[in-house]
Structure 1
Amino acid sequence: MANQVEPRLVQPLIDQLQQERFVMLATIDFETGGPNINAISWIFAKDDETVYFALDNRSRIIQNIKHNHRVAVNIIANESTYSISGEAAIIQERIEGVPLKLALIEMKIKEVRDVMFYGSKIVVEPQYEKTYDKEAAARLDNQVMEAMRKA
């Protein structure tokens, strides 16, 4: 159903956000004041009001969040498209136990909106594959996801 609005994540979205997946993260650019959209994959629903994501701590996204805490995540799941908006904060500048310099970001959810246009559904969700060493990628992904679960 299009344009359904909730104040928190519903269980099917929590379930979808228990593993690495493709999402789009929107922030406000700290220099231009305009929108900035990035694809990310290290995202995890801690509960129905909190989402974590991990980012390279040199990323422009980090600078954007430091200047403006408002963010939105776009996820395609459950045959629809959702906009999850809220406020983000950097809770760890460097995640321990992960070989890369990653920051842990906590997003407190304000609104979850089904934004799929009327009379349609998603029939195939986006998929991706890592193009570098698959074993190294899997090991890193597991380390990052485990660190977010423990946070």
Structure 2
Amino acid sequence: MANKIETSLIDPLFNSLQKERFVTIASIDYETGSPNVSAISWVYAPDTNRILFAIDQKSRIVDNIKKHPAIVLNLIANESTYSINGNAHIKEDQLENIPLKLSLIELGISEVRDVMFYGSRISSEPQYDKTYDEKAAAKLDKQVLQAMKDKG
């Protein structure tokens, strides 16, 4: 059912955001004012009204949000594609006890829109592989998710 609008996450989206997954973030570039899209994976919904995500402190997303807090998170889940709009802010400049310098961003959800084109559904969700040490990646992913849960 394309273009249905909600003001918070529906259960299947909330459930899909309880673990690491592929999403894209669209922000407004702080220098050019043009759209900027980035792919991220450390994302977690502590409740149906907020989404937390962790990104490198030096990511362009951080500077973009500081100047223009309006962002869109794009999520492919529940056999569809969703546009999750809201305002974001830096919740923590640096997550503690994480070996990387990661900032924690909080998105306050104002609108969730099913944006899948009419008469279609997603038959398989995006998947990805970590291209560095598998054990190190699993350990880091666990640390980051736990830090986001603790701050949620």
TM-score higher than 0.5 here? yes
* 1:21 maps to 2:18: no
**Which runs of at least 4 in structure 1 moved beyond 2 Å after TM superposition?**
none
1:97 CA drift (Å)? 1.4
Normalising by the residue count of structure 2, what TM-score does the alignment of the two structures yield? 0.98
2:127 matches 1:119: no
- Supply the AA of the counterpart residue of 1:87: N
Amino acid of the residue matched to residue 50 of structure 2? T
- TM-score, with length taken from structure 1: 0.99
Q: Secondary structure at the match of 1:106?
A: strand
Q: For residue 54 of structure 2, what is the aligned residue in structure 1?
A: 54
What's 2:129 paired with? 129
Instruction: Report the Cα distance in structure 2 between the residues aligned to 1:12 and 1:57, rounded to whole angstroms.
Output: 30
Name 1:40's counterpart in structure 2. 40
Question: How do 1:2-151 residues align onto structure 2 when only pairs under 5 Å count?
Answer: 2-151=2-151
Secondary structure at the residue paired with 1:52? Answer: strand
DSSP-derived class of the 2:81 partner:
strand
Identity of counterpart residues, as a percentage? 57
1:63-99 deviation per Cα after TM superposition (whole angstroms, max 9, x unaligned):
0000000001001001000000000000100001111
Which runs of 5 or more residues in structure 1 are unaligned? none
SS at match of 2:53: strand
- Give the whole-Å Cα distance in 2 for the aligned partners of 1:75 and 1:66: 23
> In 1, distance between residues paired with 2:22 and 2:12?
16
Matched to 1:121, the amino acid is R
2:126 partner amino acid: P
Structure 2 residue runs without a partner (length 5+): none
Please report how far the alpha carbon of residue 27 of structure 1 lies from its aligned counterpart in structure 2 after TM superposition: 0.4
Inter-partner Cα distance in structure 1 for 2:10 and 2:124: 21
Whole-Å separation in 2 of the counterparts to 1:60 and 1:3 = 30
Q: Tell me how far apart the structure 1 counterparts of residues 74 and 59 of structure 2 sit (CA, whole Å).
A: 19
Q: Give the RMSD, CA atoms, in angstroms.
A: 0.4
SS in 1 for 2:9: coil
The number of equivalent residue pairs is: 151
